[in-house]
Chain A
Amino acid sequence: MSRKLLLEHINVPGINTLEVYRQKGGYRAVEKALKTLTPEEIVEEVKKSGLRGRGGAGFPTGMKWSFLAKPEGVARYLVCNADESEPGTFKDRYLMTYIPHALIEGMIVSSFALGAKVSYIYVRGEMMPQIRILEKAIAEAKAAGWLGKNILGTGYDLELYVQPGGGAYICGEETALLESLEGKRGNPRIKPPFPAIAGLYGCPTVVNNVESIAAVVPIINDGGDEYAKIGIGRSTGTKLISASGNLVKPGVYEIELGLPVEEFIYSDEYCGGIANGKRLKATVAGGSSVPILPANLTLKYANGEPRLMSYESLSEGGFATGTMMGSGGFIAFDEDQCIVRNTWNFARFYHHESCGQCSPCREGTGWMEKVLHKIEHGHGKMEDVDLLWDIQRKIEGNTICPLGDAAAWPVASAIRHFRDEFEWHIKEPVKSQSHNYGIANYATPIEKAPVTEEK
């Protein structure tokens, strides 16, 4: 069994209540932080831990905190990004549902470290049940003196509020989230200035993912050095992985970073293999935005070495033969799944979720959806595959926020690795409506790395 830092007590009855959470050692980190550590020392522990943002970008959390501007007499804010909307990702929902106090405890410690007197948890609007759970837990914590005025007699005041979103993927992007929290459309801002300088209401602001904030609790309890001992290389600590698709046991798993991908998919401790005795065809390892990989490249690098669940190992080989850790949304496709249909589905998603601010994304995502719809429904032409490639190249890197890249990568990687499946749809417009292309050679060992146009 691997070490569990966030989900250790997930199965304890009543762990969602303050009482049981306290019995299991909850709120120790608040006591330790507020009574024995300075804000600077907390930031230092988080830096030492090597914790990297768990929302997708993987930027070191301690470093992000150290960028926060601290002008005299100006409010500072911590905003928790609980807008979890990346297809394939549902770990934050899980954490907030079952251990809401882990997030609240992390918010108190982190707010203290950053000097925030008011903090917000921005939860996607669809998660109304989780919003109710968090509000109840906040009320419990406040009644017990963990929030509000003069916490633990230390003179530190903190108010914590839950803010519902309105149903927009783009609000997971931190500046769009801040716009939304200000009561506006979720249009991402041009950076710089970064939120650390001018964020919520123009004040210095840190935006962190739910899991990152919850991870601060074990980091403070055990020390940053202890946390950094877990994991592999620059991928320290544990990570929540949301496993979905055609798996025997989909769900949320806490892994020590560095676990072999093969073990994660097939061992009974984790996903238990592919459902219904089928074979693995492909995976999306880090949420819908990251490149899709065929089964062979999921399990091993092009040179045959095993691939691990870590930031570095998942991206080994670059986009030619690798992918990304992203938010840890692991989607498995069995041999009967159609890559073209899934790519069309994702393209429709990004088209729907584009905020419309930048032309390459607003127009490009719509074009990709239309062309993919055509191919999937048996009306494609051979030149459409190159057209798709061309469109995604024109979106990537040409937009204010990363949604453009996120929309381009699934299409690019699907063509890169599954081009023959796209071409089969075009050559067999009738048969492809009732048959699957199947697993082809996507699961067989790689003889040579796929040839791709490099940037």
Chain B
Amino acid sequence: MLKVEEQTPVVFSSELLAKFDDVKSRYPADKSKSALLPLLHLVQAEYLWVSTSAMDKVAEYLNIQPIEVYEVATFYSMYFLKPQGKYALEVCRTGPCCLVGAEKILSHLENKLGVKEGEVTADGLFSFRGVECLAACGFGPVLQISPEYTFYENLTEASVDKLIEDLKNKI
């Protein structure tokens, strides 16, 4: 779990809370806990990770115990429980993608970015990790970038280089 000093107290904006309300309206009134996974995605899209403080606020909003949020956030692999790079690259490393070179793409990213899997580059722009099957096996190797989860297919070392340059130039 996280060290306390990494946590910043979170106050949800009224825009974010309006999105929360919209999600909550999709379920029967006494079943609003169903909103938990979508809400955590909204939090992550806003802050790029899910802090304990944010989880506590979500628990408060849904009127459930904080542990009910923690157990969900730690079970599902998409929620980042520590800060990531602005662009968190997730490369599929499961069988079919490996048949067409996913392992090379992962080691290329490590060299290119100069950080290990799970670490953030010094400029705070990038982090990367291998993830399990992204259901795009026919177009492998593939990677996705949160929080929009834009998708890049048929990767080569050259196309990865270009992608990184494009993202750098975007800021």
A contacts, CB < 8 Å to B: 75, 84-90, 92-93, 120, 124-129, 159, 161, 163-169, 180-186, 201, 242-246, 250-252, 284, 288, 329, 331, 333-334, 337, 341-342, 345-346, 349, 352-353, 355
Contact of A90 with B136 in the complex, beta carbons under 8 Å: yes
The answer to whether A242 and B138 touch across the interface, beta carbons within 8 angstroms, is: yes
Q: How large is the interface on B (under 10, 10 to 19, 20 to 34, 35 or more residues)?
A: 35 or more
B12 at interface by CB-CB < 8 Å: no
B132 touching A166, Cβ below 8 Å: no
- The answer to the question of B144 belonging to the interface, with a C-beta cut-off of 8 Å to chain A, is yes
Q: Is B61 an interface residue (CB 8 A)?
A: no
> Known contacts A128-B149, A245-B100; is A88 also within 8 Å of B72 by CB?
no
Query: Which 5 A-B residue pairs are closest in the complex by CB-CB distance?
Result: A166-B76, A167-B78, A244-B137, A183-B36, A128-B149
Contacting pair A183 B94 (CB below 8 A):
no
Q: For chain A, what secondary structure do more than half of its interface residues adopt (helix, strand, loop), or is it mixed? A: mixed
Docked-complex contact A182 and B34, CB < 8 angstroms: yes
Separation of A183 and B33 alpha carbons in the complex (Å): 5
Report whether A164 and B41 are in contact in the complex, using a CB–CB cutoff of 8 Å: yes
B35 nearest CB neighbor, chain A only = A183
Please measure, in the bound complex, the distance between the C-alpha atom of A333 and the C-alpha atom of B137, giving whole angstroms.
13
B124 sits at the interface (CB 8 A)? no
A165-B76, A168-B77 known; A125-B41 Cβ under 8 A = yes
B37 in the interface (beta carbon within 8 A): yes
Contacts of A252 in B (CB 8 A): 138
Evaluate contact between A288 and B95: CB separation under 8 angstroms: yes
Determine if A342 and B35 form an interchain contact, defined as CB atoms under 8 angstroms apart. no
A166 contacts B72, C-beta separation under 8 Å: yes
Q: Which residue of the partner chain, among A129, A246, A331, A333, contacts B151 with CB atoms under 8 Å?
A: A129
Does B139 contact A250, Cβ atoms closer than 8 Å?
yes
Whether the pair B38, A244 counts as a contact (CB closer than 8 A) is no
- For the complex, give the distance between the alpha carbons of A166 and B93 in Å: 18
B133 contacts A349, CB within 8 Å? yes
Contact with A345, one of B28, B37, B95 (Cβ below 8 angstroms):
B95
Residue of A nearest to B37 (CB): A166
A75 contact set on B, CB distance < 8 A: 28
